[in-house]
Amino acid sequence: MRKDILWISITLAILVVDRITKILVLHYLPYAQPVVVSPFFNLFFVYNPGAAFSFLGNSGGWQNWLFSALALVVSGFIIVKLWCTAYQQMCFQVSLALILGGALGNLYDRIVYHHVIDFLDFYVKDWHWPAFNIADSAICVGAIMLIWLSIQYNTNLKK
- Chain segment 111-149, per-residue pLDDT in tens: 999 999 999 999 999 999 999 999 999 999 999 999 999
Mean pLDDT value across residues 52-65: 64
Domain of residue 143, residue span = 4-158
pTM of this prediction?
Answer: 0.90
Query: How many domains is the chain partitioned into structurally?
Result: 1
Catalytic residue numbers, as ranges: 118, 136
Q: Are 96 and 10 in contact (CB under 8 A)?
A: no
**Angle 4-28/62-83 helices, nearest 10 degrees?**
150
Measured in degrees and rounded to the nearest 5, phi and psi for residue 2 equal -70, 145
Burial of 99 (0-12, 13-18, 19+ CB in 10 A): buried
